[in-house]
Amino acid sequence: MTSFSGSLDARLRDICAGLDASPGFEARVMARVRAEGDAQDAARAARARAEESRRYELTKRRQSWRGWGRRLATLDGVGAAALAGFIAQAAWMGVADRAELISAHVSQSVTALGLVLALATLPLLLRQRR
């Protein structure tokens, strides 16, 4: 029986040789767990900052003049511009004989339109100041 217990002791010693049983073991484990959690939080924050930066750049590019032009320079935009041109040309041909009369009243019409637009935005401006 001595050889059996001796071999058991040797096997257990081999198995448990790398275990840390010194004082402060739990504190060291908790410190490592906290450090790992902090590293994961930092990585998550870095990913969120990178994503927000990418979103900001995309928004800035979309709101630039070049982005605005790219959105308009599509087949739909060119077709709409051509249609508007045809309609304007047809309308002008219809009123070409009355062009002198129209040009005489354009300045008053533009002034009236400006006043109407200014008065239409007045309630919005008053509401913002409150």
The mean of the pLDDT values for the chain is 82
Same-domain status, 33 and 55? yes
**Alpha carbon 41 to its chain's center:** 22
Domain total of the chain: 2
Residue of 18, 39, 36, 17 lying closest to 28 (CA atoms): 36
Furthest C-alpha separation in the chain: 126
Q: What is the pLDDT of residues 96-127, one digit of tens each?
A: 777 777 777 887 888 888 888 888 888 877 87
Same-domain status, 52 and 17? yes
Output the pLDDT for position 1. 46
Range of the domain at 15: 1-73
Q: Which of 73, 102, 121 represents a domain boundary (last residue)?
A: 73
Give the type of residue at 78.
Answer: V
pTM: 0.34
Would you say residue 23 has pLDDT above 80?
A: yes
